[in-house]
Structure 1
Amino acid sequence: MKIAFHLFLHFSLLVLVSSYGGNGYDPLENALKIQRSRRTKLNHASKEDITVQETHFPFYVGPQHGLKNFDKISALPGQPAGTDFDQYSGYVTVHPNHGRALFYYLAESPVNSSTNPLVLWLNGGPGCSSFGNGAMMELGPFRVNADGTTLSRNKHAWNNVANVLFLESPAGVGFSYSNTSITNDVQTAKDSYTFLINWLERFPEYKTRDFYMAGESYAGHYVPQLAQLILENNKITNQTVINLKGIALGNAYVDDETANTGMYDYFWTHAIISDEIHKGIIKHCNFSEGATITDACSDYQYQAYVAQSNIFFYDIYTPLCSPFSNSTPSISGFDPCTDNYIQAYLNTPAVQQSLHARPVLWESCNDFINSYWKDMPFTVLPVIQDLMASGISVWIYSGDTDGRVPVTTSRYDINKLQTSVEIPWYPWMHQGEVGGYVVGYQNLTFVTIRGAGHFVPSYQPARALAFFTSFLEGKLPNKQ
């Protein structure tokens, strides 16, 4: 049963369209199943992979003169009239010998762009697009309309309060490219760091600006590992110092044990799986590092998979994308077919040309990268603990209708971090309603966003912007 379940799930995920927001497609689970199977076969833990090796590696710095002007976007096809901020996009070479270049999109602030901080946004997967998913579906300045050709303004875009830099990482994701197939945490952190050093040469006005990073899902690996690398390399005095102030991790996969226990507990408490299935998982499954997944455990996991049936568990209350979607509106008002519109828009030649992108079949996620990821630490909680001790701001936020990396998982993660409560749990308010709940810990802030799924800014854009603004200001969301 165990082998049959793994093969069934792996095959079913690969044959579906690689649409991050699409029903039935779960790139994180696909990658995790492969990694868990690999760990079982090798019977070894991967603690040695937690930190980025060779911190002070020789990194490539290429000529950047004149490239900023070349990267400026005159206008995106179909963008609404009155667009009042500057946009840039293009490629930054991170390894010329391997032909590796990462694609970025920068949306500057409509006001105070010269003083607002710089925020790097990373989507997860691993292997999913930060531009297509992050910028066009979540927190960017535009949303793609149902016609797949025009854009509308996202009034709750995060560039209202920051200059937001979306990075397609690792190479091979979205518009980024490489002539090699390196897919692992270590190389991703190194390439992202090399990107930043070169990008700051291209945009030198940001060198001394306050810098933050945010991301969701598997970016729970990307962001802490890159932050760790930045802080270590900042100690070298003969190179650019990146003014890192804080990180925010949304519905983040950071620990494999809590990812499992939290998900199944969430399924049970939200009436997705039965008492019997939940009891079977508790009795027969040991998700701790190095433990063997028994046939009985796999059988109950399969029963849980079947019990989910036809729901989109990235947001358990969102309707599926179908011809009947309009008759069943989402609680949050999010269009579940949005990813289809993005796919059409970003594969339009005129759009790719305006973005200075190479002509390519753009996809929301890269299945090859996802399925052949080389290293995946069992946990990055020790990295997060180091970052908490470093003095930078560390926030964990969670949309509370996500079943993929649910709020229960984030709470179990925090329990493992063993930090003490300084400001007890309270409801934070936005526009006269509860926006979510918050706890202030020592060196850590935990925030929930009420009514939001895995892609928090997609489902609750106003609440997401309110939380994000608080994060940048370094203060907890309002009680009143």
Structure 2
Amino acid sequence: MPNSWAGEVSVSKDEDDHRYFFWLWEPQNDVGHEDLVIWLNGGPGCSSLEGLFEENGPFTFTHGEDAELKLNPYSWTNLSYVMWVESPIGVGFTEGQPSIRGEKDLGREFHGFLDEFFSTFPELKNKRLWLTGESYAGMYIPYIAHELYQNADKHSGINLQGIAINDPSFTDTFFGEEAPAFEFLEKNYRVMGLQREDVESVRNLARQQGLETYIADHLQYPPRGPINPPDQYNPEKSIWTQIADMAQGKSDCFSIYNIKPNCEYESDPLGMPLQSQQPSDKNFINDTPGLKEAIHVDPSVRWVECTSDNVFQAARYQQDTSTPPDQSVLPMVIEKSKKTVIQHGTYDFVLIANGSALAIQNMTWSGTTGFQSPPNIPIRFEGRMHGMMGEERGLTFVLVNGAGHMIPEFKPKTAYKLQQYLLGQLDRDGISK
């Protein structure tokens, strides 16, 4: 087991009562000693310790009622320094009252944390920094990267190289959920445990909303022009919600996080199952004697995986109203970065892969809109096909076959190989072998 360091660091020299929790691990192998990867979970309000214990950390849980920790052969600590950070304030073991109003505030808050972190760990200054995460971190990370590229002091030790966001919330609800929902149902209804008549029961609403053939008509390479909602689209009549309710009504084991019904995940050792059942009474972080003392946090704090408190409560409407990154900061981040990777599991229904593809085809960066060709680079592992990848003008888009919302949890081998690609340890040829 590699060495690790854990504790709390202030988000500002002037705000010692606002502190992030971090858990930093050193590389286990000879590679990656010049790279520092930061992982963020989403929510908003979910702890990155979920990623550490259930996705890409040095150990993961077995599934089932009697879950146990086991070593993870696909730990990202094999490839670099990795730091799991709880952010923003209000999540997990963080200290202080939430004070951010949106993503720009979060970017500044995270920037302050990094300045204080590198002051505490000067030996890590100027390591190649990579920001990675999933879900709502697709909002966090582009804004954090934008803040760092715009305002980081060259003497602070922040040496950002690029970002990778998995199944990200980086676009609006229309692209991410509604536009691709019916096409997703037509393609995957058998996997979801549904019948053909279930598809037909949704078709009329899709036709009324102008979305029955929306993906076929608009997901084009190269894009034909701006992609907009149909005139008849009504956001109050959600196709996505109708499909999710129907699938969950057919099977208690259906999960929007992974559409293949599976009761194996009924109980979660961190207390928040992927299915619709009630959270488990067990919570590894709260129940393990001495763990909180070992990671230098207050043992009286009751840790929860995802807080019910509003981490944007200082906002005018007490919610994050920031412009989605695909319509704001992401193009500049791509242009400034050595590498930007967007990954999406094809079995995720929380956010749908073709929704991410639509958003990319509607986004302009480096003087051109969208990809000019569809993803056509195969991703192979031990001779088997695991997905497809496209790469143009500094942006890589990856479709991971059969992966749900948490790619490192559901497809750890593929996630590991994609992380090697991000860090430059594998090239395009290597990822296809």
TM superposition score normalised by structure 2: 0.79
Distance 1:401 1:365 in 2: 22
Residues 303 and 475 of structure 1: is their aligned pair in 2 closer, same or farther, counting only changes over 3 Å? same
The partner residue of 1:368 within 309, 313, 319 is 309
Once superposed, what is the RMSD of the aligned Cα atoms?
3.2
Cα gap change, 1:318 to 1:149, in 2 (>3 Å): closer
Task: Give 1:411 shift.
Answer: 1.1
1:319 aligns with 2:270: no
Q: Report the alpha carbon displacement of residue 432 of structure 1 after superposing the two structures with TM.
A: 1.1
The verdict on how the C-alpha distance between 1:86 and 1:275 changes in structure 2, with shifts beyond 3 A counting, is same
Equivalent-residue separation in structure 2 for 1:204 and 1:98 (angstroms): 19
Q: Residue in 1 aligned with 2:245? A: 306
| 1:195-344 superposed matches below 5 A | 195-234=113-152, 236=153, 239-256=155-172, 257-260=174-177, 261-271=179-189, 274-284=199-209, 294=234, 297-298=237-238, 300=239, 302-309=241-248, 310=252, 311-321=254-264, 340=280, 343-344=283-284
* Deviation, structure 1 residue 128: 0.3
Q: 2:427 aligns to what?
A: 475
Paired position in structure 2 for 1:380: 325
Shift in CA distance, 147/378, structure 1 to aligned 2, threshold 3 Å: same
Letter of the aligned partner of 1:415 in structure 2?
Answer: Q
Task: Please give the residue correspondences for 1:53-452 in structure 2 after superposition, counting only pairs within 5 Å.
Answer: 83=1, 85-95=2-12, 97=15, 99-112=17-30, 115-131=33-49, 133-145=50-62, 151-180=69-98, 182=100, 184-234=102-152, 236=153, 239-256=155-172, 257-260=174-177, 261-271=179-189, 274-284=199-209, 294=234, 297-298=237-238, 300=239, 302-309=241-248, 310=252, 311-321=254-264, 340=280, 343-359=283-299, 360-369=301-310, 372=313, 373-381=318-326, 382-417=328-363, 418-421=369-372, 425-452=376-403
Q: Letter of the 1:319 partner, please give it.
A: N
What is the SS of the residue equivalent to 2:22? strand
After superposition, the Cα gap between the structure-2 partners of 1:306 and 1:350, relative to the gap in structure 1 and judged at 3 Å, is same
Cα deviation for residue 431 of structure 1 reads 0.7
SS at match of 2:290: helix
- Structure 1 position 463 matched with structure 2 position 414: yes
More helix per residue = 1
Q: Which whole-Å CA distance do the structure 1 matches of 2:373 and 2:114 have between them?
A: 34
Partners of 1:262 and 1:347 lie apart in 2 by 41
CA distance in 1, matches of 2:93, 2:267: 32
Is the Cα–Cα contact under 8 Å of residues 315 and 402 in structure 1 kept in the other structure? yes
Q: Secondary structure at the match of 1:369?
A: coil
Post-superposition shift, 1:340?
A: 4.8
Alpha-carbon separation, structure 2, partners of 1:285 and 1:454: 27
> So what's the TM-score if we normalise by structure 1?
0.72
Give the deviation of 1:209 after TM superposition. Answer: 1.1
Residue 181 of structure 1 deviates from its aligned partner by 5.2
Q: What's the offset of the Cα at 1:179? A: 3.3
1:389 offset after TM fit, Å? 1.9
Residue-pair matches, total? 384
Kept in 2, the 8 Å contact 1:147–1:341? The answer is no
User: 264-273 or 409-418, which moves further after superposition?
Assistant: 264-273
* Cα contact 1:423–1:440 (8 A) shared by 2: no
What CA distance in whole angstroms lies between the structure 2 residues aligned with 1:130 and 1:112? Answer: 26
Does the 8 Å contact 2:92/2:306 carry over to 1?
A: yes
Aligned equivalents of 1:149 and 1:364: distance in 2?
Answer: 16
C-alpha distance 205-424 of structure 1, shift in aligned 2 (>3 A)? same
Which amino acid letter does the alignment assign opposite residue 253 of structure 1?
S
Q: What stretches of structure 2 of length at least 5 have no aligned partner?
A: 193-197, 212-226, 269-273, 364-368
Unpaired runs of 5+ residues, structure 1, are 1-82, 326-333
Q: CA deviation at 1:268?
A: 3.5
In 2, Cα distance between equivalents of 1:249 and 1:117: 17
Q: Tell me, yes or no, if the aligned pair for 1:267 and 1:403 is still in contact at 8 Å.
A: no
SS in structure 1 opposite 2:329?
Answer: helix
The alpha carbon displacement at 1:420 in A equals: 3.6
Aligned-partner residue type, residue 91 of structure 1: E
Partners of 2:205 and 2:261 lie apart in 1 by 28
SS in 1 for 2:370: coil
Residues 149 and 345, structure 1, Cα contact 8 Å, conserved in 2? no
Residue deviations 1:400-432 (CA, integer Å, cap 9, x gap):
211111211121121112234479513221111
Offset, 1:205: 1.5
Percentage identity across paired residues of the two chains:
24
Distance 2:90 2:110 in 1: 13
Structure 2 Cα separation of the partners of residues 101 and 324 of structure 1: 31
From the superposition, tell whether residues 341 and 399 of structure 1 become closer, same or farther in structure 2 (CA, over 3 Å).
Answer: farther
